[in-house]
A and B are shown apart, each in its own frame.
Chain A
Amino acid sequence: MSRLAAGGSIDRRQPLAFTFDGKSYQGFAGDTLASALIANDVRLVGRSFKYHRPRGILTAGAEEPNALVTLRSGARAEPNSKATTVELYDGLEAASQNRWPSLGFDMMAVNGLLSPIFVAGFYYKTFMWPRRFWERLYEPLIRRAAGLGALSGLPDPDSYDRDHAFCDLLVIGAGPAGLMAALTAGRAGARVLIVEEDFALGGRLLAERHEIDGQPAADWVAAVAAELASLPTVRVLKRTTLFGGYDSCTFGAVEKVADHLVTPAAGQPRQRLWKIAAKRTILATGAVERPISFGGNDRPGVMQASAVEAYVNRFATAPGKRIAIFALTASGLRLARALKAAGIEVPAIVTPDGTGDGSTIAGMVTATHGKTLRSIEVSGRRIEADILAMAGGWNPAIGIASHLGARPVWDDAIHAFVLKTPPAGMALAGAAAGHFSLGEAIDDGLREAQAALADLGMPATVGARPATSDDPAGVGTLWSVPGSKGKAFVDFQHDVTVDDIALAEREGFRSVEHLKRYTTLGMATDQGKAGQVNGQALLAAATATAMGEKGTVIARPPDRPVAIGAFAGAHTAAHFRPVRLTAGHAWAAENGASFVDTGQWKRAQWFTRPGESDWLESVTREARAVRTGVGICDVSTLGKIEVAGPDAATLLDRLYTNMMSTLPVGKARYGLMLREDGFVFDDGTAARLADDRYVISTTTANAARVMQHVDYCRHVLWPELDAQAVSVTEQWAQVAVAGPNARVLMQRLLPDMDLSNEAFPFMASAQCRWRDGPARLFRLSFSGELAYEIAVPADRGAALMRALTEAGRSFGVTPYGTEALGVLRIEKGHPAGNELNGQTTAHDLGMGRMLSARKDFIGRALAGRAALTDPMRPTLVGLKPVRPGERVRGGAHLLPLGAAARAEHDQGYVTSACFSPVVDGWIALGLLANGPSRIGERVRAVSPVRGTDVEVEVCSPIFFDPEGVRLRG
């Protein structure tokens, strides 16, 4: 055990048991998985991506490239989890990954032996011969070797939640700068949201030893946390990672609600996606320490100095017994003091120029030795050390501020990219602003919060600035160590070395983006946080370009990897989209309905009766019942829009191709709408309820788009028209009653109305009463039978279905679904969704005569173009198989008899097909080039994907009652 006897922020009274690769260990509450592994002397944790080199723990944060594990098991397995960010819990289960058969002995490490060949981009130069071997041999091998952890392949059993937050000030990061800012704004009464990805507040103050106001910094953090909790307008979200900045000062964050539990409690989400709208934002995300590129810098035992400091001070562990330090920054010397205070031997402090205290060695680490680190080489001298802490300088964590396009600039004073012009509404504070000392962080937090308050017109209460201990923050640079022995890594996870950067430069990949893409620098799960800037600096040096000129790659969300499940929230599986049910849904279900999805609606597709063996039997029975008796069908999903006002008629004249202003009150008319490009948009009916009031119907699919279109015409095109429009699709339940017995049935339902053909003829409409409530009655027919549609307020829809069933029981009223509806309309040649597919014109559908020449309407001018009325366009026809009993299907293409099944003979296709009871065979509608002039001709309906080829006769699309006698009866 390497747990220190005392100190740290762990709770020694709460021991937690966990396993790694099946072996049991113990840690404490307050540990991360990484700190607990260190406390248990586990040095080898992972394998790298390409060479499968053994790797240990490099960092103590989200920039960790090496210590990736698969957390949990079974359906909850979570590959590529960074041990450094996993909060330890009792029963935690972790396994190493990307190794076979074991972490200690990984056969794939043979890749390391081939590393002279496996350089950056080597795969672009080979595996090309023979051609067929790519999919069969090379690629499967590469795919198997690549990847990191594995998904379980099982559905994620946990749930995810979403929430919204609105605030005056969003503070990102709860280190000294963030805490100071939140406190200042919170005291002034501003609505403050402060988010922190760690499970503890304090940021660097958790890991470093400082004094604030003469007390240990931890006490200051505790006091601030307590005060923030007491302020009514402040909300603190721990375990919450802000991952993205978006337009209009909005942000995305993910809260790990239950990731520190074995499983979420019942009803508890695993994670919650926060969508935050902030008036002002302070980015106080700190800085990430850079590695140093020297030979063997990836050996387990080589760590970031800041990480060593965290493991010693925060987690009370000793990562090693002899910890050497290689430092380019003053923070390296602070680490030495911390180690000595913890009783850990420091065999050497190495700095390039010897700065530091008297014991410092001037020089560089050029090599490391040991399976895990045993010794380092400095200027040819071996120094025994089991840990080497690298203090390579700092990169301000400015990713989120860059998401909106602000370009980082190179600051030669601190050798780092900084953001001089953050996006509107955002300020940077502390190390994120490139201000690395504690005093500056406190100053920044205070100042930026006050500036934000002033911006928002909120008076700031003046609090004293806390006094802090001195914290020198000198930074040097050393992008690669000359004379290194062995591979010197820049991107640890993807095994990108200093030599790879040089190779890329030689091959002309000299923009930072080309470098990234060619070498994969920065594309690993640490998103380049550990080494990308080092690689860019090496490129700049190789091309003799200043860093500022070379620039860096553009940061994009997410700033941390985020579970896909968290983005999806609860909208998964059956809850992917809302379910819309008609008022008659329960009634239909009781009557044996099978339902079909039509957009978000569930519609009854057919009603199975006892003894029926398949859908076709049910559908045929239903269609026959409509032709011979009476059927009822729930058509509530059709869009319904009321249009009212003095100019309602004028508006409809412009919306429809045909005249609606001439429609008398009490009548309905079929109408066709075009898009402005002249193609068919939608069809439906318009009924005139009063001089200044219409109700129009749309197809189910286009209900929302037609409403939007009507509003566009009213608001944008012709605001001078005094016409209102409102969707009433949900407000009215509507039922079609069709068949020779329809009048008898309706008369029973509406005994007070005169429904005789004279009083209420075909295409009549009326507002009436049913059971002392409003109702609307239309004599419309989609089926070609004597038919009505009756609409009642939706809350009475179910009652209407029951009443119709009851009233029609004596003559066998039959509910029918969308399939029978389809059969009936195909028999009548009425176009529906398959024909109104957005690619057809009025001419194609045989409706050219509906384009009024007496007025302007949407689509008028462009519908007249020659290309839209070309007779050779596929045009609506009926199709009947020549051999009785043969089936023709939608999607088959139409070709001349005897012509080869090739594209040059393609003359159209089948749009809709069904079994027709009245024809007693399969029939179809189709679009056929020059169709109407080819009635009687025989063609082939060919479906190569089904292997069918059916000879069909071209006929009129109206298979039944072409004179329309029945519907007028």
Chain B
Amino acid sequence: MRIPCPYCGERDAHEFVYRGDAAPQRPDGAEANEAAFADYVYPRANVAGAMHEHWYHAQGCRTWIVVERDTRSHAIAGATLAREAKR
């Protein structure tokens, strides 16, 4: 599997560290409660299909990126920098 790193170009997946689903959003600030955090930390949609997910180019540019990948076929539609995806 080859990941299209926005900085480095297409690189083998073994250069990357995988984190998982990019969808969960960390609850905001010191006000958020236990339940909100538990919901952020533990349950996952575990999508069967196209999914946006976080990969870290540990052996390359050391950037977190968001990759769109199909979990059934491993087909990759594209990737963006995580900090840009957030904006």
Contact = CB atoms under 8 A, between A and B. Distances in A.
The short answer to whether A and B are in direct contact, CB under 8 Å, is yes
B44 interface: no
B38 interface: yes
Contacts of B63: 711, 715
Interface string B1-36: 110000000101100010100100011011011101
Contacts of A716: 22, 54, 64, 82-83, 86
A712 B2 contact: no
Contacts of B81: 715
Interface of chain B, main secondary structure? mixed
Given A277-B2, A704-B58, A715-B64, A862 B26 contact: no
Contacts of B74: 247-248
Contacts of B33: 861
Nearest to A727: B62
B58 A712 contact: no
Contacts of A870: none
Interface in B48-87: 54, 56, 58, 62-64, 73-76, 81-83, 86-87
B41 interface: yes
A855 B37 contact: no
A424 B75 CA distance: 10
Contact of A864 (B34, B58, B62): B34
Contact of A708 (B2, B41, B56, B73): B56
Please classify how large the interface on chain B is, using the bins under 10, 10 to 19, 20 to 34, 35 or more.
Answer: 35 or more
A164 to B, nearest CB: 9
Interface residues of A, number: 29
A714 B82 CA distance: 10
Contacts of A404: 73
B30 A856 contact: yes
A250 B56 contact: no
A405 interface: yes
Given A719-B86, A719-B87, A677 B54 contact: no
B19 A712 contact: yes
A250 B64 contact: no
Contacts of B13: 247
A802 interface: no
Contacts of B54: 712, 716
A425 B75 CA distance: 12
Contacts of A861: 27, 32-34, 36-37
A652 to B, nearest CB: 16
A218 to B, nearest CB: 39
A564 interface: no
A708 B58 contact: yes
By CB atoms of chain B within 10 A, which of A676, A716, A862 has the most? A716
B64 A712 contact: yes
A861 B40 CA distance: 11
Contact of A865 (B2, B26, B34, B73): B34
A893 interface: no
Contact of A676 (B22, B34, B41, B58): B41
B2 A247 contact: yes
A677 B34 contact: no
Nearest to B22: A716
A421 to B, nearest CB: 13
B24 to A, nearest CB: 10
A43 B62 CA distance: 62
Contacts of B19: 712
Contacts of A275: 12
A246 interface: yes
Interface string A57-71: 000000000000000
Interface of B: 1-2, 10, 12-13, 17, 19, 22, 26-27, 29-30, 32-34, 36-38, 40-41, 54, 56, 58, 62-64, 73-76, 81-83, 86-87
9 contacts: A249-B2, A676-B26, A708-B17, A715-B83, A719-B82, A719-B86, A861-B27, A861-B32, A862-B37
Interface of A: 246-250, 275, 277, 404-405, 424, 676-677, 704, 707-708, 711-712, 714-717, 719, 855-856, 860-862, 864-865
Sorted nearest first, the 7 A-B pairs with minimum C-beta distance are A719-B83, A247-B1, A715-B64, A248-B2, A861-B37, A856-B30, A247-B74
Given A676-B37, A862-B37, 11 more contacts: A246-B1, A248-B76, A404-B73, A405-B73, A676-B41, A708-B17, A712-B64, A714-B83, A715-B83, A716-B82, A861-B27
